[in-house]
Amino acid sequence: MEQPMEQGGMYCREGIKELLDVAKETVPGSLWNSTPLVLKATAGLRLLPGEKASQLLDKVREVFGESPFLSRGDSVSIMDGTDEGSLHGSDTTTVGMLDMGGGSTQITFSPQDEKTIQTSPIDYITSLKMFNSTHTLYSHSYLGLGLMSARLAILGGIEGQPLEGSQELVSPCLAPDFTDHWEHAEVVYTVKGQKAGEPIYESCYNKVEKALYRKVKKAEEVKEMSFYAFSYYYDRAVDIDVIDEKTGGVIAVRQYTEAAKKDFPAHLTVDQRP
């Protein structure tokens, strides 16, 4: 019987091969050996124990080495938080980027207000050289505030630490009679809903607010900016039916809140909750 890690490596290998097949259909064969391959893993992989993360990256290196494309020793790695945010950098001064994975969420934009540059933590401001031009970016990756890691924090769990004995995580975002198991970063947690009689939306909102307290640095100018939002931001917008799954759309942040107030049914599973 295959172990979970071996299965993960197999899925990883096959997934990369599928992507390379698409590349072969797109890139002319004469250019394959001069077309570089790069894979930068994000926070979700950083949450795995070092050995398991390394094994998955080794699988990718093997596939890269077997492919006809150009790969080097540093073609596969785990990026740091600044790189993760800068990956979504834009040279359009009025548009920022938001991305949310399972382990972290990123914000990147080109600051127009000098106050933003002067008052932000030094590691939030970075320079990116592209096409002979240097761009100043506000870019930060909030490790622990991806959808799954934030959910664990809201539940009251600690990253990488399984519960002891009969311990349970109690969530105000779940119905009183709810009990189930939820797996995150290879740890299985037992979760249950709050006690009966509590207002679910208000209790859940307060819990989320406490989980985020002093963890997010506010840049005032973003209130007037437009952002492209990816990954779980997109998925949740589809879930609440404010954008089309295939074509996307334009929404305001308040629509997430309005949907939560309107559609907070008691029957949602833990995987469908915030």
Q: What was the pLDDT predicted at 134?
A: 75
What is the spatial distance between Cα 109 and Cα 139, in angstroms, rounded to a whole number? 7
Q: What is the pLDDT of residues 78-132, one digit of tens each?
A: 766 555 555 554 444 558 999 999 999 999 999 988 899 899 999 999 887 655 6
105 is in an annotated binding site: yes
What's the angle, vertex CA 37, arms to CA 34 and CA 39, rounded to 5?
A: 165
Instruction: Detail the DSSP E strand segments found in 39-103.
Output: 39-41, 76-78, 95-100
| H/E stretch holding 140 | strand 133-143
How does pLDDT run across 140-168, given as a tens digit for each residue? 999 999 999 999 998 888 887 777 766 78
Which residue, chain included where needed, has tokens 């933590």? 121
The answer to whether the annotation marks 104 as part of a ligand binding site is yes
pLDDT at position 107 is: 95
What CA–CA distance (Å, rounded) separates 235 from 256? 12
pLDDT at 47 over 80: no
* Catalytic choice (6, 62, 84, 209): 84
Structural domain spans, the chain: 4-78, 81-145+216-239, 159-211+266-272
* CATH class in words for 4-78: alpha beta
Q: Is the pLDDT of residue 204 over 80?
A: yes
Task: Check the annotation: does 86 bind a ligand.
Answer: no
DSSP state of 224: G
Which of the 8 DSSP states describes residue 266? T
Residue 185 has pLDDT above 70, yes or no: yes
User: Is 106 annotated to bind ligand?
Assistant: yes
Q: Please give the model's pTM, rounded to 2 decimal places.
A: 0.64
Residue 159 bears catalytic tag: no
Residue 223 vs residue 262, higher pLDDT: 223
Query: Does residue 269 have a known ligand-binding role?
Result: no
Query: What is the per-residue pLDDT for 44?
Result: 67
